[in-house]
Structure 1
Amino acid sequence: MRRLLDAPHRLCFAAAGLLLAVASLGWLALLAGPPGIASHWAVAPRHAHGLLMTLGFLPLYMAGFLFTAGPRWLQVPALPARRLLAPVAAMGAGWVVVLAGMPLEATFAAAGMASVAAGWSSLCLRLASLLCASRAADKAHAAAILAACSVGAAAMALAAVALATGHAAALDAAPPLALGGFVLPVFTAASHRMLPFFPRRSGGWLAAAVVVAWCGDAVVGAWRPATPWLADGVALAEAGVAAWLAVTAWRWWRRHGLPSRLVAMLFTGFAWLAVALALGAAAHLPGLPAGTARAALHALAMGHAGSLLIAMVTRITATHGGRSLAADGATLGLFLLLQAAAVARVAASLWPVAGTTLLPLAAALWAAAMTTWSVRCGAWLLQAGVRPLADAGQSLARNAPLPSCTTSSPDRP
């Protein structure tokens, strides 16, 4: 425990990795188990899955990243990990109660979800205190991330209320709200700040367009009285942003190539964003499978967020563990396993006939990749750190210098 309290990323990543492994193996067990195994659960398995995969491990990984890189962005002293112990413990204990309550009693799960919301809100307040204390010239990225984190807290509170009242519609709304208003903006803002793929001049507009297009589609999908022309307009906007992302990625790849494994992993996550938006636009076309919208959601969650999660967390964990090579052969193998899982899950939505085979396959590949990766990173977290926290805000692609891709941001290559 003393080792985990050496730095914020150690504490948060360890808690997140444990929850990621439990969620992945649990979902695989449900899909591979006998039919109807969860038919009498107090909380429907699809609701449990949606909450765990959006509001479970991801916020804890975000906290580890934000309280490591954030102080450097804001030019303020870093918070010691002990200041984060109480809220992280509240979130961890809350998820234990949620997991225990989902098969047995929904109000029990609601109490656990309330603890999760309280812990995350406390972390948001600590992040806000860093932002208020900062005198840095550029605080836009941190402010955008804090706003998105506040949406995450609202989604957690909504889930707690929905579990307590048995309101199925609100419980259905919590994961999409978390994904579009919380997860995507945090990943997009961090990527725009730290990765070289966004153009120097129009990158901010592209990042904002991604979030607006995805959230606009989610709002139109949830708003039953939405007129057809409004849905068609949102679909055109999504298609346009997807094309913008694809052209941006192609131009960057043509100019710089993929000079290292880590850059290739980050680039893959960036490309999945274009795929997700393209599928979201295609979901509005007549004649396509009804699961196309679900395919877009999993392309974003598994392909985009999952790829960037492995690349970014591995980079930080390896760097602070004294490893000069973050993306070694084992990491690359697990990353490719994740890609296979994402492709299988998207295909299961687009090809319903084969869904009974592809869905368990996707869950098995995901569980194998993410559980193994969590255990591997966990072992690194328990080793002595050799790098100062100030290095954590450096570009995640720094191990592959790109001299021709200079920008005004000190965090980029």
Structure 2
Amino acid sequence: MNTKPSSEASSAGLSPALLAAAPHRLLFFVGAVNVLLAMSWWLLWLVDARWGVIGLRGGTPFGGWMHAFIMQYQLLPPFMFGFLLTTFPRWTGTPDLSRWHYVPVGLGLLGGQVSVVGGMLLGQEPMVHVGVMMSLVGWGYGLIQLLRSLLAERRAGKGPTWHAWSCFAALGFGLLGLLCMVAFLHGAAPWTVVVSIKVGTFALLLPVYMSVAHRMFPFFAGNAIPGYRAWRPMWVLVAMWGLLLAHLGLELAHANTWMWPVDASFALGSAYVLWRWWPGNKGPGILRVLFLGFAWLPVAFTLFAVQSALYAAGGDFVLGRGPAHALFIGFFGSLLVAMVTRVTQGHSGRPMAMPAAGWFAFATLQLVAVTRIAAEAAPDTYFWQVVAAAGWLIAFLPWALRSLSIYLHPRADGRPG
């Protein structure tokens, strides 16, 4: 493939109209904006909680709840929808989606994020309501478009493509989580927020990440490393869903003392998967960061298992939110950088190599993850949470700005898309 910029492409200027040229352009653009917007608000909230120097207005839902909601339902999902709306037709062998199938998704998710964050900053709960509803509408519209590809595959007598169905099921759980937040904002009991947050972690994000990794990581390695043997048995997806739903059920039932066998099994299982996939020191850096980021998964579930075991032994939740942030920052954050950078490089006609901004974001996120985990045991936990939030922004700023520029410019190789 020719990856050298054509004279026409390299001389072309910024064009916002290009955002509608492909699903990943628009949705990744929305996600990159949200990466900075969401954590900027959270940094201000943490600074205000620690020092009280900003004076953010009240009258809105608890900031900690909204932080978890925004990260799970508004920051990461645009990237997921951008990838899946691009790949579903390819996985299922059905026609590509048109811009009218994905532009409303991007607009709904972007408007939802801006409205929710704006409402939290200004102390305007109606803005939060509107933002959650916008996210719900965009999400539902995106689910319909993904279902179109699945049904078209079935009508053509193909498939089923189980990775696609697994991702679709996870996004369906995500719709349930959004509805729980809507219910809370319209007067339902606080437990609906807890359900929304837990569903977002264990029935939405983890299944999507794992399903995509199971299909794509061995494929990527096989393309880059001669002699690499791709390993992706379908029982891995079945076991993943069983263990994650078991964890979710136990957590929602407050049966925390019995979570450790499930979490230990998931830690061991994910470590085994990583071992089977591991490319060693072979392959380019843009491949190896996928597996380095995946290594946070067994680490996170080991911490979950230790937390549950200590609690079962009569202790307390001594690790606090540490295991969750090993998952959110270490696993989700690292693979966000690794996967989105790879897709952005390939779909913009650039060399399949990790750019400097990508390396900086990935390396800095490792420090941010460790800092946030350690903050749970620090004497001044809010201070170290502020440091971690600022670290997230420092890590992502060059990467996000570079990505935003790419999505607003023609492909470097002059091809459409």
TM-score, normalisation: structure 2: 0.84
Higher mean C-alpha displacement, 2-11 vs 324-333 = 324-333
SS of residue paired to 2:51:
coil
Q: 1:40 corresponds to which letter in structure 2?
A: G
**Pairwise CA distance, 1:131:** 0.9
**Structure 1 gaps, min length 5:** 391-413
Pick the aligned partner of 1:311 from 338, 342, 348.
338
Q: 1:250 to 1:201 in 2, by over 3 A?
A: closer
SS at match of 1:292: coil
The structure 2 residue matched to 1:327, chosen from 331, 337, 354, is 354
User: Which letter does structure 2 place at the counterpart of 1:281?
Assistant: A
In structure 2, relative to structure 1, the CA distance for the partners of 1:274 and 1:244 (3 Å cut) is same
Change in 2 beyond 3 A, CA 1:388/1:281: farther
Choose between structure 1 and 2 for higher RCO, CA contacts under 8 A separated by at least 6 residues. Answer: 2
Q: Distance in 2 between matches of 1:41 and 1:258?
A: 54
Tell me which residue corresponds to 2:267: 242
User: CA separation in 1, counterparts of 2:273 and 2:416?
Assistant: 32
Contact in 1 for aligned 2:231/2:276 (Cα 8 Å): no
Tell me what 2:138 maps to: 119
Distance apart, 1:124 and its partner CA = 0.2
Taking a change above 3 Å as real, the CA distance of residues 334 and 118 of structure 1, as seen in their structure-2 partners, is same
Q: Deviations over 1:201-260 (max 9, x none)?
A: 664333433343344223222213x4x8xx43x31232123123224434544x643432
- Output the CA distance in 2 between the equivalents of 1:241 and 1:258: 27
- Change in CA separation of 1:303 and 1:207 when aligned onto 2, cut-off 3 Å: farther
Instruction: Using the TM superposition, name which of 181-190 and 381-390 deviates more.
Output: 381-390
The 8 Å contact of residues 56 and 123 in structure 2, kept in 1 or not, is answered as no
Who is 2:392 aligned against? 366
How many residues end up aligned between the 2 structures? 383
Structure 2 letter corresponding to 1:313: V
Give the 3-state SS of the residue equivalent to 1:322 in structure 2.
coil
Q: How does 1:13-412 map to 2 (within 5 A)?
A: 13-33=28-48, 35-36=51-52, 37-38=55-56, 40-102=58-120, 103-134=122-153, 135=156, 136-165=158-187, 167-196=189-218, 203-224=233-254, 226=255, 231-232=257-258, 234-250=259-275, 252-253=277-278, 256-286=280-310, 290-292=317-319, 294-349=321-376, 351-353=377-379, 355-385=381-411, 386=413
Please say if residues 106 and 166 of structure 1, whose CA atoms lie closer than 8 Å, have aligned partners that are also in contact.
no
- Pick closer, same or farther for the CA change 1:132–1:387 going to 2, 3 Å: farther
Q: Is the 8 A contact 2:73 2:200 kept in 1?
A: yes
Give the percent of matched residue pairs that are identical in Structure 1 and Structure 2.
28
Letter in 2 for 1:64: G
| 1:68–1:389 CA contact under 8 A, matched in 2 | no
Q: Distance in 2 between matches of 1:300 and 1:106?
A: 29
Taking the aligned partners of 2:339 and 2:203, their CA distance within structure 1 comes to: 21
The answer to whether the 8 A contact 1:3-1:382 is kept is yes
Q: Which runs of 5+ in 2 are unaligned?
A: 1-15, 223-228
Residue 272 of structure 1 contacts residue 303 of structure 1 at CA under 8 Å; is this kept in 2?
yes
Q: Distance in 2 between matches of 1:285 and 1:150?
A: 32
Alpha-carbon spacing, 1:201–1:336, altered in 2? closer, same or farther (3 Å): closer
Distance 2:84 2:232 in 1: 24
